[in-house]
Amino acid sequence: MSLRDTVRLDSDIHSEQAPNGAKKHLNMQTEESSVIEEIDCGLVLDAVNKVLMRRAYFREKQRSHRRRERDDIHQLRKQAEDLETQAQRLRLRVNPRRMQSRQPHEDSDGGLSWHAIAALFRHETRLTLAENADLVKTLRRHRSLLTRMQLWVAQNDKVPKVMLSDDPAIRKLTKEWATQQMYHNTAAAFQAFPTSFDSNEFSVCDLTVSDLWVNFVDYSQYVWHAPMEVAAYVLRYHLHELLSTRDMSSWTENTVLVQAKLPDGDSAAVVVAHFHEADRCVVVMRQLQSRDILRDDDGVPVRDGQSLVWFDLRRADDGRTIGRVKTLSAMHLKTSGEGSMEAVAMKLGLDLTDVPLPDRDETFRKFCMTKSKESEVQIRSLIRSVLERVQTELTVGS
C-alpha cells in the first residue's frame, strides 16, 4: 500500500470517529495537501527542464562556435597556400632567371670559397644589369610617348580640330580624347534644344554666312518604333549604310573610324563613339582633319572646317526610342579659287556667276537651307528603313 493510500485510509477512519464539523475540516486539509503536493511537483519539473534545456542550448552553441572557428582557420590556411603559390608563380614570371636555384659549392670544412662567392656576385650582377636595361627601355618608351602627346596637345589646344598621328598609341588616345570631350559636353550641347515639341518629330536648323565662315546648326528629334538597344546597335554596326560608305576601320573598345561622304561630294574621316548609361545612350561623331589634305599655295588647307554631331537616345514609356540630335558644322571659305563660296556652291549645284555680289551670301544661305531640308527628309527615311530591317533580322534570329 502506498503512502497516499495509507494517509487516505487514516483520514477515513478519523472522519468516521469525529463529529461532523471536525470531519469537514479534516477533509479540506487532506484535499489541500494533495493539491499542494501536485502543484509543487509540476513547478519543480518545469524549472528543472528549463535549466537542462538552457544548458543543452549553450553547450550546442559553444560546439557550433568551435566548429565555425575550425572551418575559418582551415579556409584561411587554404587561402594562404593558394596565395603563396600564386606569388611564387608571379615571381617566376617576372624574372625566372633570378629564381633559379644556384647553390654555391661548399668547402670540406663547410665554408664558402672565394671562387663560389665571386661567381654568385657575377651572376647576380648580370641579372641586375639586365633588369635595369629593361626598365630603362620601358622608361624611354613611356617618355617618348609622353613627349609626342604633349606636342599633339600643344598643336590641338587652341583650335577645335583634331588630327590623327601616325603612332598607333597616340591615334588611339586621340580618338578617345576627342570623343570623350564631346560626351563630357553633351548637356551643354543640348542646352538650347527646343522643348515645345514634346515627343513629336521635328527639325530646326539655321545657317549663317559671316566673314567667310559658314556656320550651320541643326536640332532634330526622331521617334523610332524600336527599343533603344536596337537603335544604338544600328548606329554602331550599320552606320556605314547611313553615311553611304563601306570603309569602317580602326575599331577600339567604343570608337570606330569611318569615311563619311560630304554634301559637296568629298569625303572626310569621322570618329564615332558610344557611351551607354542606365536609361540612355549617347553617340558622338566628330570630323577629323587629314594630314594630306589639299592645301593652297600658302600652305593653308583648302577645306578648313569641322563638324560635330550628338545623338541622345532615350527610352519612351511605350517601348519606342526618342532620339535627339544636335549637329554643329563650320567651314571657312577662301576669297577665290578652290574653297571659295563660288566653288563650293558649284559643287552643290548652285551657279553664283550671274548673282550680284551683295546678294550672294543670302542666295547661298537659302540654297543651303533648302538642301539641308531635303537631306533631312532623306536621312529620316533611310534611318527608318534600316532600323526596321535590322529589327526584323534580330527578331527572326532570336
What pLDDT score was predicted for residue 134? Answer: 92
- Higher pLDDT: 40 or 87? It is 87
Rounded to whole angstroms, how far apart are CA atoms 131 and 136? 9
What the chain holds in terms of domains, given with CATH numbers, is 177-397 (3.30.530.20)
Rounded to whole angstroms, how far apart are CA atoms 153 and 188? 23
As a whole number, mean pLDDT of residues 288-294 equals 60
What pLDDT score was predicted for residue 269? Answer: 82
Q: Which residues contact 256 (CB under 8 A, 6 or more apart)?
A: 236, 239, 248, 249, 250, 271, 272, 273
Type of residue numbered 231 = A
Which residue stretches of 185-311 are H helix?
Answer: 186-189, 228-237, 239-242
As a whole number, mean pLDDT of residues 222-228 equals 92
Residue linked to cell 538650347: 192
Grid cell in block for residue 369: 537651307
Least confident of 22-31, 61-70, 174-183: 22-31
pLDDT band per the 50, 70, 90 thresholds, residue 164: confident
What pLDDT score was predicted for residue 290? Answer: 64
Tens of pLDDT, residue by residue over 133-150, are 999 999 998 898 888 777
Q: Is a pLDDT exceeding 90 seen at residue 322?
A: yes
Q: What is the pTM of this model?
A: 0.59
Name the nearest CA neighbour of 231 among 396, 394, 391, 393. 391
Strand partners, 223: 322
As a whole number, mean pLDDT of residues 71-98 equals 81
Rounded to whole angstroms, how far apart are CA atoms 175 and 271? 7
Radius of gyration of the chain (CA): 45
What pLDDT score was predicted for residue 302? Answer: 46
What pLDDT score was predicted for residue 209? Answer: 87
Residue linked to cell 629564381: 99
Rounded to whole angstroms, how far apart are CA atoms 322 and 312? 8
pLDDT band per the 50, 70, 90 thresholds, residue 294: very low
Asked whether the beta carbons of 286 and 162 are under 8 A apart, the reply is yes
Which residue stretches of the chain are H helix?
Answer: 3-17, 20-94, 96-99, 114-155, 168-184, 186-189, 228-237, 239-242, 341-348, 360-397
Which residue stretches of 331-359 are H helix?
Answer: 341-348
Tens of pLDDT, residue by residue over 333-371, are 888 777 788 888 888 888 888 888 888 889 999 999 999
pLDDT band per the 50, 70, 90 thresholds, residue 395: confident
Query: How far, CA to CA in Å, does 67 sit from each of 60, 75, 76?
Result: 10, 12, 14
Asked whether the beta carbons of 267 and 259 are under 8 A apart, the reply is yes
Name the nearest CA neighbour of 268 among 214, 224, 305, 221. 305
As a whole number, mean pLDDT of residues 39-58 equals 81
Count the residues in the chain.
398
Rounded to whole angstroms, how far apart are CA atoms 163 and 178? 10
Rounded to whole angstroms, how far apart are CA atoms 356 and 358? 6
As a whole number, mean pLDDT of residues 75-79 equals 90
Q: Is a pLDDT exceeding 60 seen at residue 39?
A: no
What pLDDT score was predicted for residue 291? Answer: 56
Q: Is a pLDDT exceeding 50 seen at residue 7?
A: no
What pLDDT score was predicted for residue 133? Answer: 92
